[in-house]
Amino acid sequence: MTRSESRLRKQKLLAIESDIKEISLAMKTAESCFNEVSDGDLLDALIYDRAALESRYNYLIRELKALETATQ
């Protein structure tokens, strides 16, 4: 692996890890909103938002694992 490939890999890892942290925080925030919402429409929106965050989180975890195993 060349230096530029190694640097690019490290940048991708850092970006993915940063995105995972950001999404984790957003998921915690969404979870706390469930306790505050009583309107059915808003509750539906929170459920869809939470599902989208979970999908994005799962995607990033798969990308992280793939990137880690590709360099081993």
Q: What is the pLDDT of residues 8-62, one digit of tens each?
A: 888 999 999 999 999 999 999 988 888 888 899 999 999 999 999 999 999 999 9
How many Cβ atoms are within 10 Å of 12's Cβ, its own excluded? 13
- Give pTM, 2 decimals: 0.83
Residue 1's pLDDT band (cuts 50, 70, 90): confident
Q: Is the pLDDT of residue 70 over 80?
A: no
d(CA 36, CA 14): 34
| pLDDT, position 12 | 93
What is the DSSP code (8-state) at residue 47? H
Q: Is the pLDDT of residue 72 over 70?
A: no
